[in-house]
Amino acid sequence: MAKAFKLLLSPFAEAMRTFADLSTRYQHRQRQSLIVLARSLTMFFLAGWALCFAQESGQEIRQSVPALPPQPTPQSEAAGPSFTFKTVSSIVVVDLVARDKEDNPVRDLTSSEVRISEKIDDSSPAPEKIASFEPVTEATRQRATRTGGIVLGWLHKSSCPLTGAYELSYYLSPESRKDGLHRILVTSSRPGLRLFFRPGYRIEAEKPVGVSAAELTDKKTSPQLQEQQRVQTERERHPELELARMACYDALDLTSFDVNIRKVKTLAFADQVKSKTDNTKQEVRTRQDTYEFVVPPSYFSSLPAVERSHPTQLDFSFCTFDSSGHPFRHFDGTVEARTTSTDNESLTDHGLTHRITVEAPPCRMLGRRLQCDSQPNMMEISGQWFPQFDLSARLIVRDRNTGAIGSGEILLADLGPDPFHSPIPEGQTTDSFGTLNPTTALAMCGDVYQLAPWTTNLPLFSELDAVAPVYTTSLGVYSRFFTAGIPHITSRTEWFGVNYQGRFGVDKPGKYEFNLLSDDGAKVYIDDKLIVSDDTLHSPQRSRSKPQLSTGAHSIRVSYFQGPRTEVALVLLVKPPGRGWRLFDTRDFATPEEPALQRKKLSLPER
């Protein structure tokens, strides 16, 4: 060891003697540069000696805590030469998701069915040779071994386990490592396939950097994405309308507090007014509705002390809706609070109570016909058209100081009798679309999406970004006025969607009848085959199907979206062969691989 150390130091000693001789021939400034270079060589040889020692001393050095990076020190340009290292990885990794026309995952795609090409700026596309192509499971999705290449991650967010996902990699040729915007295109020879991937990246000074969507304007977008982009542009152009948009189009993400709201009274007036045309008197009817809302004391007491000492201004927006869910009337206002010290104590003890008066547009009787200054929406009943009036309302309150938002809902008229006799056992319905965490390995996972207002059909969820997941073993949201939202995920009561996926087992083959109740659109897939579809905007209604199921494990996917208010419903029932109707619950149909997870055996066949 001593001999090896001496051999390592001999070149260093010779170099030091050379530098000493040279130092007498140069001026002070040049001598300083040589000293810096000598110190660098010293560190180099000492590092080499330390490496040799570590290799002979076992694994201890590799288990030590990494050293902190050296802090930069100011120095002049003459202190030493500067170097620029230019490098770029030779491999590109593309995360790919494959879906069919029905948005079902494609699980059997092979590399022979995939082609990839790349173009730099305005050059012609050049085909690239695929280095690897493999399916991605939840385990491989989380691995951190792909950092050695240019990684183009998932195009859209999804929190539930990925199916129909792949990892594709290809090597960059020397010509493909040029600076510029690199656009990639992945295609498949399989007809009807839809592929999702990040379509480009940028290299600057031979270093890969991120690329914005605006740089890829030639990429085709779906109608849903175009509509979302249009809505987002309008939001940025008119920020003053944000509160009204939340009230009338339920564009909420999460609210900070709940607002209690109730209707206090209604006053109706009838006056005789002279007509401007023929001086005859006409009866004019006017209605005033008074509402009272309460911001809870828990909100004010939760504010930091510095906020409690400031005057509070609460902006509110109130919107009413007709039976079809369209905004009917809208009012804005502002209420001031905490103007004195006594107000501060009252707010933290009792909250804030405020009344607003909403006046309906005046209406006149023309013979037997009612004509209003602002014509209400019309509804057809038995071939006759009738005006629609307020059925429900939403209030949005925003604290101007903190930006915190609260919301409240109120039903102004009865929804009417339920036209369906529910075969659901008592106590099994719910107003929850799921929980934040799975309670069993058999729980279905549902990605939650926020949709653009006036979405009229089930979107292709693979083209959207999920907000967060929910978990449930059954779907039992029976028809009701919906005010709960999906707690801790979104406060929306309309314009949202959930894409559930899960698995269940069948121990007895035969015809399994499924009954779907939904408001609005929903589809049910078993083993990627559509069995029930009711994909429109509609009031609660049922759809049935009776597929043949074999013994063994099966996959299930339920896609659902809630459009305009006022009702919401998502119920899935099942009738196994020879048995009665029940709420479909994956715990009653454990897979053959996990029989211990089954909650209970199914009831005996009906007599």
Tens digit of each residue's pLDDT (9 = 90 or more) over 146-176: 556 788 888 888 889 888 999 999 988 877 7
Which position has the higher pLDDT, 481 or 238? Answer: 481
Pair 129, 260 in one domain: no
CA gap 101, 81 in Å, rounded: 60
pLDDT at 347: 87
Biggest CA-to-CA distance, the chain:
123
Number of helices and strands in the chain (H, E): 8, 35
For 476-544, the DSSP string reads EEEEEE----BTTTB--SSSEEEEEEEEEEESS-EE-EEEEEEES-EEEEETTEEEEEE-SS-SSEEEE
Strands 257-258 and 327-337: unpaired
Instruction: Check if the beta carbon of residue 133 is closer than 8 Å to that of residue 115.
Output: no
User: What span, in angstroms and rounded, lies between the C-alpha atoms of 217 and 226?
Assistant: 12
In the block, residue with structure tokens 């150390």: 5
Q: What is the CATH number of the domain that holds 572?
A: 2.60.120.1560
383 exposure class (CB count in 10 Å sphere: 0-12, 13-18, 19+)? exposed
- For CA atoms 8, 13, 16, 22, the dihedral sign is negative
CA distance 431 to 477: 5
Q: For 309-371, where are the alpha helices, taking DSSP H only? A: 341-350
Spatial CB neighbours of 181, under 8 Å, sequence gap ≥ 6: 120, 121, 200, 202, 211, 215
Query: How far from 461 is each of 232, 306, 421, CA to CA, in Å?
Result: 19, 44, 32
Q: Do 561 and 524 share a structural domain?
A: yes
| In a shared domain, residues 376 and 454 | no
Q: How far apart are the two ends of the chain, measured CA to CA in Å?
A: 91
Cα 234 from Cα 219, distance rounded (Å): 22
pLDDT at 203 over 50: yes
Q: Tokens 């959930």 label which residue? A: 498
Residue 63 maps to a domain: no
Tell me the CB-side half-sphere exposure of residue 297, using CA atoms within 13 A: 9
How does pLDDT run across 287-309, given as a tens digit for each residue?
788 999 999 999 988 988 888 77
Contact 222, 463 (CB under 8 A): yes
**Res 58 pLDDT > 70:** no
pLDDT-derived band at 234, boundaries 50, 70, 90: confident
Residue 373 φ/ψ, nearest 5 degrees? -60, -40
Range of the domain at 20: 1-56
- Higher pLDDT, residue 567 or 596: 567
Banded pLDDT at 264 (limits 50, 70, 90): very high
Residue 269 lies in a domain: yes
Residue 84 lies in a domain: no
Same domain flag for 206 and 260: no
Structure pTM? Answer: 0.74
- pLDDT at residue 477 above 80? yes
Integer CA distances (angstroms), 101 to 190, 411, 460, in order: 12, 39, 9
Four-point Cα dihedral 100, 105, 107, 111, nearest 10: 50
The Cα–Cα gap between 565 and 265 comes to 24
The pLDDT, as a whole number, for residue 107 is: 92
Mean pLDDT across 503-522: 92
Q: What is the pLDDT of residues 91-105, one digit of tens each?
A: 889 999 999 999 999
SS3 349: helix
pLDDT, tens digit (0-9, with 9 covering 90-100), for 403-420 = 999 999 999 888 777 666
Q: How far apart are CA 414 and CA 430, in angstroms?
A: 20
Give tens-digit pLDDT for 360-399: 777 766 666 656 655 555 544 445 544 557 889 999 999 9
Number of alpha carbons in the 13 Å side-chain half-sphere of residue 284: 12
Q: Tell me what pLDDT residue 287 has.
A: 78
Interval 442-473: pLDDT, tens: 999 999 999 988 888 999 999 899 999 999 99
What's the pLDDT score for residue 538? 85
In whole angstroms, give the CA distance from residue 114 to residue 117: 10
Give a yes or no: residue 78 inside a domain. no
Structure confidence at residue 444 (pLDDT): 96
Which is more confidently placed, 269 or 267?
267
CA dist., res. 152 & res. 146, Å (int): 10
Among 411, 432, 455, residue at a domain's last position: 411
Rg (CA), the chain: 34
**Is the model's pLDDT at 226 over the cut of 80?**
no
Kindly list the strands in the beta sheet with 444-450, ordered across the sheet, starting from the edge strand earlier in the chain.
Answer: 468-472, 444-450, 496-506, 552-562, 522-526, 529-534
Which of the listed residues 216, 251, 273 is the one where a domain comes to its end? 216
Number of alpha carbons in the 13 Å side-chain half-sphere of residue 369: 6
When pLDDT is averaged across residues 55-72 and rounded to a whole number, the result is 33
Q: Are 400 and 305 within one domain?
A: yes
Is there a single domain that holds both residue 146 and residue 191?
yes
Which secondary-structure segment (H or E) carries 261? strand 260-274
Residue 35 lies in a domain: yes
Same domain flag for 197 and 99 = yes
- In this structure, the answer to whether residues 203 and 324 fall within a common structural domain is no
Residue 230 lies in a domain: no
pLDDT of residue 90 exceeding 90, the answer is no
Strands (E), 535-607: 541-545, 548-549, 552-562, 567-575, 582-583
Tell whether 449 and 562 lie within a shared domain.
yes
Distance separating alpha carbons of residues 164 and 188, to the nearest angstrom: 14
3-state DSSP assignment of residue 12: helix
Same domain for 375 and 478: no
Place of tokens 């490496």: 51
Same domain, 459 and 494: yes
Tally of CA atoms within 13 A in the half-sphere of 316 that contains its CB: 27
Last residue in a domain, options 352, 386, 411: 411
- Looking at the fold, whether 33 and 136 belong to one and the same domain comes out as no
Tally of domains within the chain: 4
Kind of pairing between the strands at 91-99 and 150-152? parallel
Give domain status of residue 518, yes or no.
yes
The answer to whether 475 and 540 are in contact (CB under 8 A) is no
- 245-270 average pLDDT score: 88
Residue 330: is its pLDDT beyond 80?
yes
In a domain, 25, yes or no: yes
- Between the ranges 429-433, 458-462, 481-485, where is the mean pLDDT highest? 458-462
